[in-house]
Amino acid sequence: MSPTTIWVTVLAASAGCLALKLAGHVVPGTWAAHPRVARTAALVTVALLAALVAVQTVASGRELVIDARLPALAVAAVALVLRAPFIVVVVLAALTAALLRAAGMP
Amino acid sequence: MPSARPTTTPDERAVVRQALSVSVATGLYGISLGALAVVAGLSVWQAVVLSLFMFSGGSQFALVGIVGTGGSAASAIATAGLLGVRNGFYGVQLSPLLAVRSWRRVLAAHLTIDESTAVATAQPTVRLARVGFWLTGAGVFVLWNAFVLAGALAGNALGDPKRYGLDAAASAAFLALLWPRLRTALARYVATGAVVVAVVLTPAVPSGVPVLVAAVLAVVVGWWTAREHAHPDAEDGEAR
């Protein structure tokens, strides 16, 4: 992306996110409090984050690649099971990938 | 700020402590966002503006991830926006609790994120909920933006991000954001389905699209299962 395209992306996405936040504070709650709407919204968040985990771990552009990211993600999962704080999870994953790459893994 | 006032009850001290610890923990991982943002191709300024104005971790990581993997502007905006929908639902819960008007309402909306909502809605009284919301929102805002700047400057100086495992850090960040949302079986099924869809579609469609298709899948499942479990005691504790 060109710097201009990135600016447009950043500003448009930020405006959208703020508009969504404001909408929640301004609209009457009855519609959004409907269980089906609330449940669907929660599941959309789950699906997006899960898909982002997958893409960020095994995609390289449009290719599927197994590299140091996968074992790093496994370490992150173990850290989460052990209830490590967010920053520890992230740092452990980075450290794992960095060490594996220093040892020659792609 | 409330921290300057003497706190009188143990409940108040507890909410202040909670707000500060959440702020520090959340703020710190702004370092990884800042570094990832410049590695993905954003300038330091773009990373800073993104954090100040979007101010929602999941959406920011998503936007940076999609820009970094060569996705289109449209898919980056759509994914960040869809991840921001939950903040709208938080606002519905918070609005009667905070009861603010005009510019304070806009400020409250901007500070409506996972962390401020979680701390506010965990408090036993309205007064404590307000203290929790404003302290956590303001605390995360200040520290998150400061650490994003620090991370962006560091990321600029680092060079090859893969050497430091920063790409794996992004995977771990998404996993950590996902983790607390996997409490119900339905959520775990949807997450598994989303992973399969994303992996299968990656070679077939442009970058960024697999993630959006996974979201569509969740809408279909959410709508359909709500009909299946239409009785009133159906569990849906995820929409906090």
Q: Rounded CA gap, B20 and B48, in Å?
A: 22
Residue B121's pLDDT is what?
Answer: 87
Tell whether the model's pLDDT for residue B64 goes beyond 70.
yes
Q: Rounded CA gap, B154 and B159, in Å?
A: 9
**Sign of the Cα pseudo-torsion (A27, A33, A34, A38, in order):** positive
Pick among B178, B182, B184, B233 to test the A interface (most A CBs inside 10 A):
B178
Q: How confident is the model at residue B235 (pLDDT cuts 50, 70, 90)?
A: very low
Q: Rounded CA gap, B31 and B218, in Å?
A: 31
A59 beta partners: A64
- Using the Cβ of B150 and the Cβ atoms of chain A, whether some distance falls under 8 Å is answered with no
- Using the Cβ of A56 and the Cβ atoms of chain B, whether some distance falls under 8 Å is answered with yes
Q: Rounded CA gap, B203 and A64, in Å?
A: 7
User: Pick from B138, B131, B145: which is nearest to B112 by CA?
Assistant: B138
Q: Rounded CA gap, A83 and B52, in Å?
A: 29
User: Pick from A36, A46, A41, A42: which is nearest to B194 by CA?
Assistant: A46
Which of A15, A35, A49 is the closest to B178 by Cβ? A49
Q: Which of B235 and B139 is assigned the larger pLDDT?
A: B139
**CB within 8 Å: A6 and B190:** no
Domain boundaries, chain B: 2-177, 182-240
- Using the Cβ of A88 and the Cβ atoms of chain B, whether some distance falls under 8 Å is answered with no
User: Pick from A58, A59, A88: which is nearest to A75 by CA?
Assistant: A88
For residue A63, what is the DSSP state? E
**CB within 8 Å: A13 and B211:** no
Task: Report the gap between the CA of B96 and the closest CA in chain A (Å).
Answer: 8
Residue A23's pLDDT is what?
Answer: 94
Q: How confident is the model at residue B230 (pLDDT cuts 50, 70, 90)?
A: very low
Task: Report the gap between the CA of A6 and the closest CA in chain B (Å).
Answer: 7
- Using the Cβ of B54 and the Cβ atoms of chain A, whether some distance falls under 8 Å is answered with yes
Task: Report the gap between the CA of A47 and the closest CA in chain B (Å).
Answer: 5
pLDDT tens-digit series, residues A36-82: 888 888 899 999 999 999 999 999 888 999 999 999 999 999 999 99
Q: How confident is the model at residue A29 (pLDDT cuts 50, 70, 90)?
A: low
pLDDT tens-digit series, residues B200-224: 999 999 888 999 999 999 999 988 8
Q: Rounded CA gap, B4 and A13, in Å?
A: 35
Which of A1, A13, A73 is the closest to B80 by Cβ? A13
Which of A13, A26, A56 is the closest to B174 by Cβ? A56
A64 beta partners: A59
**CB within 8 Å: B174 and A21:** no
- Using the Cβ of A18 and the Cβ atoms of chain B, whether some distance falls under 8 Å is answered with yes
The conformational region for residue B165 under phi > 0 = left, psi -120 to 50 = alpha, else beta, is left
- Using the Cβ of B75 and the Cβ atoms of chain A, whether some distance falls under 8 Å is answered with no
Q: Rounded CA gap, B64 and B106, in Å?
A: 25
Mean pLDDT of B136-146: 97
Write B12-20 long-range contacts (CB < 8 A, 24+). Answer: B12/B128, B12/B131, B15/B119, B15/B123, B15/B128, B15/B131, B15/B132, B15/B135, B16/B131, B16/B135, B18/B119, B18/B122, B18/B132, B18/B136, B19/B119, B19/B131, B19/B132, B19/B135, B19/B136, B19/B139, B20/B135, B20/B139
Q: Which of residues 180-219 of B touch A (CB under 8 A)?
A: 181-182, 186-187, 190-195, 197-199, 202-203, 206-207, 210-211, 214-215, 217-219
Q: How confident is the model at residue B233 (pLDDT cuts 50, 70, 90)?
A: very low
pLDDT tens-digit series, residues B80-90: 999 999 999 89
Which of A20, A54, A99 is the closest to B84 by Cβ? A20
**CB within 8 Å: A85 and B25:** yes
Q: Which of B52 and B171 is assigned the larger pLDDT?
A: B52
Q: Give the whole-number percent of chain B exceeding pLDDT 90.
A: 64
Q: Rounded CA gap, B240 and B90, in Å?
A: 7
Tell whether the model's pLDDT for residue B62 goes beyond 90.
yes
The tokens describing B14, both together, are 């507890």
Residue B232's pLDDT is what?
Answer: 40
One-letter identity of residue B226:
A
- Using the Cβ of B126 and the Cβ atoms of chain A, whether some distance falls under 8 Å is answered with no
Q: Work out the number of other CB atoms within 10 angstroms of the CB of residue B86.
A: 29
Which range has the worst mean pLDDT, A102-106, B51-55, B134-138?
A102-106
ipTM value for the complex: 0.91
Burial B190-215 (b: 16+ CB within 10 A, else e): bbebbbebbbebbeeeebbbbbbbbb
3-class secondary structure, A16: helix
